[in-house]
Structure 1
Amino acid sequence: MSRHDIMAYGAVGDGTTDNSEAIAKAFAACREAGGGTVFVPAGVWLTGPIELASRTTLELEAGATLKFTDRFEAYPPTFTRWSGYECYGHRPLLYGKDLERVAIKGEGVIDGQGEAWWNAYRRLKNGETEGISPFREELIERNRHLYETADSTFAEWKTQFLRPALLQLIDCKHVLLEGVTLQNSPFWNTHLVYCDQVKIRGVTFYNPADTPNGDGLDIDSCTHVTVSDCHFDVGDDCLCLKSGINEDGRRVGRPTEHVTVANCIMLRGHGGVVMGSETSGDIRGVVVTNCMFLGTDRGIRIKTNRARGGGVKDVMISNVFMKDVLCPIAINSFYRYGVNTNDPLMTTPEAVPVTERTPVIRGITISDVTAKNAKAAAAFIYGLPEMPIDDLTLRNVTIEMTEDPNEEGGEPDMVREHLVMAGEGMYCKHVRHLTLRDVRIETRQGPAVRLEDVEGERIEAVTMRRRAGADAVVRGGAAAQI
């Protein structure tokens, strides 16, 4: 296969020269040759957006940094899936659609220079709108079918300042990401949509802790995906599985399924491995094993709500170590973030009729998990009264809550009501067929397990050692509320 060094096409690695044209020529030559490698040698290479190609590898040498311009006008409206909606948004920095056998590998760095985008978002949050989006009117027109009807509370939606992913691939087959570091993304870091047969190995995903919407890796309506030996240190969810949002996601109807995650380390972030909240096309057939979550808000997190439909089914999680997390296990069908709180469906605690909008969480097995110095709740399991979380098993699980009396804890997850817990055990509400076997939970206060509206539970060897004589399991009662 052909090999095309970008320097041969006039690229200059001085960090200031715009290499957009030289890199585009290298990819064009690779396409004409029927495929091959576009090679980026050591140096700092400034560029505008890059369009990837079939049967082509983008390879970054150790010491190479591919740095994208932060001029918003360089990223015109492009078809995307943005927070679950099929629409148009700013062009992703690295972008590919309808490709086969596309790879990005090497020991170099791909840097999105996201700070300008983050600052613009913060200005929007503060009520400033003028002069931020150069394509506002065009995006409003292109997204007219959603702009006036989508039930979105995102700050960007009214202005259509839809920030791009650093890397987005749509409808691609045989995808390989290996070795590189992807950092400082304007929005989500790496976003794979409708892709099949994906391998991600040894990749580092980095965003500063305060990055708005700075997810590490989002696997969105993809199939046959393996993620292994990766390192995450980001400002939002580390690794997230999604499948479209609400009516638009149900219209598309493409699941995320047959996904394996192994041997990964997650630092900080809102969640280690997260499923949802965009579950409308279904997330199913997921295996997570041999991972570490260090300082994430939640460890294992599944979230959805009454608007989504679809659901999360047939998940196996094993051999996980966590430390200093807020809540090690959070499974929530009543997730409130980003929903219209004026819709009574989103707020009523009573059972409502089951429809295509009703999400289903079923068949979750979590085993061989150890968590130390957890802060809020050992686990937070919260279903819907009309659709309880069904067939949930925790086996050989040890969770030790912090003993620090000054630790105030927080919300273990965002449900209908504001529930704050600190050093408490597992709280289960609206759950059916719950199995707890060889579970040890050391609380700072309260029982190891509190059950409310739980049916068909099977509890074997649930213990506390630190607070000998305290009740391990309590039925009825509620968590603290503010």
Structure 2
Amino acid sequence: MLDVKAYGAVGDLSILDSPSFQAAIDECHRIGGGTVNVPAGEYLIGSVELKSGVLLHLEIGATLWASTNRADYREDWSGVYESRILFKATNADLFGITGKGTIRGFGTEKFGSWWGVPQPPDLRVCTCFFDNCRSVTLEDIRIRDSSFWTVHLKHCDTVYISRISIQNYRYHLNTDGIVPDSCRHVFISDCHLSTGDDCIPIKSTEQEACGPIFVTNCILETPNTAIKLGTETYGNISDITFNHCTIHASIGIGFFVKDGGSVERVRMSDITIESADLYHIKPVLPLFIDIEKRHADSKMGSVRDIAFRDLFINTQSTIVVQGAPDSLLDNISFQNITMRITGYTPYSNRNKPITGKRMLKEQRDTEFMIKPAYMTIAYGKNVRLDHIQVFECTEAAEHRRHKLCLAYSENVLYDHAPIEAGGNEQWIG
């Protein structure tokens, strides 16, 4: 075990300590690996490269403050949208960050069109970016006020993330929590993520598959999407499992398929969703699935073999699940879904949520968002619906809405009984 203070770190914010961190990590890697310990203190740091075989361990009382000076970050480390990077690893094995210390960013001001500040800050820093790495561990650490994506995993295999806490400023856009991007074998458990953007967005930003990914026993809070598949779907996303999670979010669960990839073999169970009270400023849905083309020449993606079970939802909104005329949702099931409608929100002027850049507009932007139903399923086949319950408050009950709207869908079972085709739309309840 090596100690950063033995390599010159001071820990009182008087100097930049990242060169001492780097010296200790480099030496630990040179001698074959081990632990670099960070004792209690206040450390000012810029870019630090993590290396194979080295665990960076933050003791209780150790706080690492991300520098606000661009010169303290490596210019050759350019992240998404030209962000800078605090901790980076490339082609590394058997490494990580552990301990009960804290990493603090500086994303504490409002940013985002919803909040009236469309121009991004001059400096944004991704807390952790690991590219093409294997056997990665993040455990017990706390991350606060990241100013950009907090943990970006790209092309990684075998990642264990457990008991970490991410608390970012709610009104700061792009402060996503954990971002598996074209990764395999990612295990996330017992985490509390509170972010200003998506909590766990699963992506494929290149034509490379993503999955399997397992997430369990997490608390997710955001004004955006808590569990998100997409929007970047250039490769296939498959074998995704979420269970035993609690969500406080605008869109609790969202599938955004825009770039030609498939999303398949997804299982989500025992999830509680409470919609954020943002109905007056943006589309708020507890669950949303959409297939579309990002550009006119984009390939059409697909969604198939999806199962939702034991969802408990408090909302004033609806579930909207829509395929496309030339790409039907295939083999999708909802079992034991309980919706408690907590108030009345008009649907007549709603558009679908559009996240990520998109150049096209089409009829489906509004067509199914305005249906007077608490669950709308459009352009699906082989759909199973069992034990769907809706409990309306007095205010909501005064405005007549159906339990379910089926549009352009075929081979639908509702409580084990087939629904006969009755034109383009069928209504239940």
**TM-score, structure 2 normalization:** 0.85
Q: Which runs of 5+ in 2 are unaligned?
A: 277-283, 355-360
Cα distance in 2, alignment partners of residues 278 and 405 from structure 1:
30
Amino acid at match of 1:34: G
What are the Cα deviations for residues 180-210 of structure 1, in whole angstroms up to 9, with x where unaligned?
0122222111100000011100011121111
Preserved CA contact (<8 Å) 1:394 1:437:
yes
Amino acid at match of 1:383: G
Of stretches 24-33 and 223-232 in structure 1, the one that deviates more from structure 2 is: 24-33
Cα distance in 2, alignment partners of residues 27 and 383 from structure 1:
49
Cα distance in 2, alignment partners of residues 284 and 264 from structure 1:
20
Aligned partner (choices 340, 343, 356) of residue 400 of structure 1 = 340
Residue 414 of structure 2 is aligned to residue 455 of structure 1: no
Aligned partner (choices 304, 324, 329) of residue 287 of structure 2 = 329
Counterpart of 2:262? Answer: 311
Counterpart of 1:207? Answer: 168
Equivalences for residues 2-401 of structure 1 within 5 A: 3-78=1-76, 82=80, 89-115=82-108, 125-126=118-119, 132=122, 163-244=124-205, 249=206, 253-294=207-248, 296-305=249-258, 308-325=259-276, 326-334=284-292, 345=296, 357-372=299-314, 374-377=315-318, 379-401=319-341
What's the offset of the Cα at 1:61? 0.8
Cα distance in 2, alignment partners of residues 382 and 7 from structure 1:
56
After superposition, the Cα gap between the structure-2 partners of 1:422 and 1:266, relative to the gap in structure 1 and judged at 3 Å, is: farther
After superposition, the Cα gap between the structure-2 partners of 1:123 and 1:11, relative to the gap in structure 1 and judged at 3 Å, is: farther
Amino acid at match of 1:105: T
Amino acid at match of 1:40: V
Local SS of the residue matching 2:231? coil
Local SS of the residue matching 2:172? coil
Percent of aligned pairs with the same amino acid? 26
What's the offset of the Cα at 1:409? 10
Cα distance in 2, alignment partners of residues 107 and 434 from structure 1:
46
What's the offset of the Cα at 1:312? 0.8
What's the offset of the Cα at 1:178? 0.3
Local SS of the residue matching 1:29? helix
Kindly indicate which of the two structures has a greater share of residues assigned to strand: 2
After superposition, the Cα gap between the structure-2 partners of 1:104 and 1:455, relative to the gap in structure 1 and judged at 3 Å, is: same
Preserved CA contact (<8 Å) 1:376 1:424:
no
Counterpart of 1:434? Answer: 383
Aligned residue pairs, count: 400
Preserved CA contact (<8 Å) 1:376 1:423:
no
What are the Cα deviations for residues 398-420 of structure 1, in whole angstroms up to 9, with x where unaligned?
11122357999965633842476
Cα distance in 2, alignment partners of residues 59 and 267 from structure 1:
27
Local SS of the residue matching 2:6? helix
Amino acid at match of 1:25: A
Preserved CA contact (<8 Å) 1:332 1:413:
no
Amino acid at match of 1:361: V
Cα distance in 2, alignment partners of residues 215 and 451 from structure 1:
34
Preserved CA contact (<8 Å) 2:252 2:274:
no
Preserved CA contact (<8 Å) 1:401 1:424:
no
Preserved CA contact (<8 Å) 1:447 1:474:
no
Local SS of the residue matching 2:32? coil
Amino acid at match of 1:370: F
Cα distance in 1, alignment partners of residues 217 and 423 from structure 2:
37
Of stretches 233-242 and 325-334 in structure 1, the one that deviates more from structure 2 is: 325-334
